[in-house]
Every structure is written in C-alpha cells, then in structure tokens.
Amino acid sequence: MATIFTKIINGDIPGRFVWSDDVCIGMLDIRPLHHGHVLVIPRAEVDHWIDLPSETAVHLMEVAHIIGNAQQRVVGSERIGLMIAGFEVPHTHVHVVPIESMGDLDFRNADTSPQADSLDSVAEELRAALREAGHGEAVPSS
C-alpha cells in the first residue's frame, strides 16, 4: 500500500511543493516545527534512510542544503536544522527546519493547525528564492 507521501507525490492528495526532480520532492510540512519547515522525500518508498541507495541519500542531502539556503534567505532564522526521525511515516523524509534553538526541533511543539495562507505564502517565497538561486528547473509553479 502506498504511503501518504507517495499519494502526495502522485497528486492523489494535495501538497505544497517547493522542489521536484526525478529523485525527490521538497514540500512544506503540514505540521511545521517552525515557519518554512520543509520535508525532502525520495520518490522511492524506502522506510529507513539507511536502506536508501547511497546516491539517493547524497541527493537528498544536496537538495536539503539548497532548500536550507533558501530558507535562510526567506525566514532569516539563526540556523537551519536537519533531522531524519522516520517514526511518523514509513517513507524516508528529511526535515529541513529554520530554527532559533534546539527546542524548535521538538515534535511536541509542532503547529497542528497552521494557517493555510501562511503555508501558501512561505511556499511561494521559497520557490521564488530557489528560482533566484538558479534552481528553476526543479521548482514547480505552485
């Protein structure tokens, strides 16, 4: 059975994409730990990240790095945190999170009811920053 992430990638469930290439997608988390929180998810359904082919793992980190730089420009947080937990959905996903402190990486502090217009706005700002940085070929229109 397809994971929720595969259903989003396939367009069966809506998502706010900021990145899309042949290997992975980047989309806003619907339960963000901080404004601008993005998940980088391989298209292939692999539960545990250590089971990914190494070239896929490297690609996810490269995309997370690119998105993290865009987040820094857009959100302006002190740091960009990176985390792979893997308990929520059995499909590898890298959390790329603008943070001000270690507490911003605590899932107990996730916003369970973010405003749709706030998510839409930061998604568009991130897409614009990614285009400006020369990554337009991987940035979906919306």
pLDDT digit string, tens, across residues 39-59: 999 999 999 999 999 999 999
The answer to whether 37 and 45 have CB atoms below 8 angstroms apart is: no
The answer to whether 96 and 32 have CB atoms below 8 angstroms apart is: no
Mean of pLDDT values over 3-16: 96
Q: What tens digit of pLDDT does each residue of 65-88 get? A: 999 999 999 999 999 999 999 888
Domains and CATH numbers, the chain: 4-138 (3.30.428.10)
Q: Determine the pLDDT at residue 86.
A: 86
Q: Determine the pLDDT at residue 40.
A: 98
DSSP H stretches of helix in the chain = 4-9, 54-75, 116-132
pLDDT at 90 over 90: yes
Which amino acid does the sequence have at 122?
A: V
Q: Could you give the CA distance from residue 135 to residue 121 in angstroms, rounded to a whole number?
A: 19
| Residue 80 DSSP SS3 | strand
The answer to whether 136 and 80 have CB atoms below 8 angstroms apart is: no
Q: How far are the Cα atoms of 14, 20, 70, 125 from residue 4, in angstroms, in the given order?
A: 11, 17, 26, 25
